[in-house]
Amino acid sequence: MITVAKIWFDGLALLGDPRAVLESIGCGPDVAKIADAPVGERVDVWVTLDVTDERLSKLLALLQERGAKWRDIRSDRFAEEEIEAAPLLTMWFNFDDTVFGGPRMGTTYDMSEACKRCGAGARQTSAMIIDGQDLHNLEGRRAAATPYDDMLVDEKLAKVLAESGATGISFRGVFVAFAKRGHMQLPWRQLCAAHTMPPMSPRSTAIKPYNPCSCRRTGFETPWEIPVRVVYRASDLADIHDVNVTWEWFGDTHYEGDVSDALFASPWFLVTPKVRRIFLDAGVTDFSWRPIYVVDE
């Protein structure tokens, strides 16, 4: 495992040709990606370096010298052998072009055992309904997600998953809602998990409560500058399935008793390497898979 820093900044802040300035400190196209076209009056630059690379300190010193503002995103990268050996992997959708779905689109939930303040623990009772305006984001894909980490797969991939013998997995239908045409069922399925993990170990990093609910299941932020490391106790793994979700729920929350006006946070998916292999065999490359950490406590 290595830890990398992904540094974003405005190339115009370098006060010169971004490529030439970056190459002067050894940051060529192998590590520096410069946008082909400006965004307004900004030129996006991403530089990705191992945190032990001496060029990282040179880059940060250069940005400070030029008075530039930057974003420093830290993450871990794993060898294939480490991923395959992990008991569970976090499953994250990589792209911004998600499909909006959930309670505000008409998806229904049982709130009888949910937190009355934030809605954590809400149990979905209907098919997933997504916004017709986002339907184009499913084109050419075999898997996708909503902004709240509801996982969607096309019906062919759902069939492969169902026939694989993967444990803890079930599926719901997916409908698209149009303003004037009502609902239409899609050849997609929502991936659902039967098993909820115990609370994470406090040794987990970059999972920081910022406005915690009294139920302690929501209100987390994940700071960019710290790698997200999900840690469980060895005893927490006794009852894992191939598809699981975290006890903690992440994301924005708005719930005042009216489900149709709610935004629910959501748990993260934790799956075994077996599930990852099925996605990869189907040509799905839209997800990041990161091993959990296990400690003896």
Residue 12 sits in a domain of what CATH number?
A: 3.30.70
Distance between the two ends of the chain, CA-based, in angstroms? 23
Last residue of a domain, one of 22, 44, 77: 77
Q: Do 63 and 163 belong to one domain?
A: no
Q: Do 69 and 87 belong to one domain?
A: no
**pLDDT at site 97:** 85
Q: Do 85 and 72 belong to one domain?
A: no
* C-alpha angle 284-104-173 in degrees, rounded to nearest 5: 45
Q: Which of 96-100, 136-140, 228-232 has the lowest mean pLDDT?
A: 96-100
Q: Do 55 and 199 belong to one domain?
A: no
Q: How far apart are CA 93 and CA 125, in angstroms?
A: 24
Last residue of a domain, one of 24, 48, 77: 77
The 3-state secondary structure of the chain reads CEEEEEEEEEHHHHCCCHHHHHHCCCCCCCCEEECCCCECCECEEEEEEECCCHHHHHHHHHHHHCCCCEEEEEEEECCHHHHHHCCCEEEEECCCCCCCECHHHCCCEECCCCCCCCCCCCEECCCEEEEHHHHHHHCCCCEEECCCCCEEEEHHHHHHHHHCCCCCEEEEEEEEEECCCEEEEEEEEEEEECEECCCCCCCCECCEECCCCCCCCCCEECCCCCCCECEEEHHHHCCCCCEEEEEEEECCCECCCCHHHCECCEEEEEECHHHHHHHHHCCCCCEEEEECEEECC
pTM of the model: 0.88
The parent domain of residue 10 ranges over 2-77
Between helices 273-281 and 155-163, what is the axis angle to 10°? 140
The number of distinct structural domains making up the chain is 2
Last residue of a domain, one of 37, 59, 77: 77
Exposed / middle / buried, residue 61 (Cβ in 10 Å: 0-12, 13-18, 19+): exposed
Q: Do 215 and 287 belong to one domain?
A: yes
Answer whether residue 181 shows pLDDT above 80.
no
Residue scoring higher pLDDT (39 or 200): 200
Q: Do 200 and 235 belong to one domain?
A: yes
Q: Do 46 and 92 belong to one domain?
A: no
Q: Do 8 and 40 belong to one domain?
A: yes
Q: How far apart are CA 95 and CA 143, in angstroms?
A: 11
Q: Do 118 and 45 belong to one domain?
A: no
Q: Do 11 and 100 belong to one domain?
A: no
Answer whether residue 86 shows pLDDT above 80.
yes
Q: Do 164 and 283 belong to one domain?
A: yes
Confidence of residue 96 (pLDDT cuts 50, 70, 90): confident
Q: Do 114 and 58 belong to one domain?
A: no
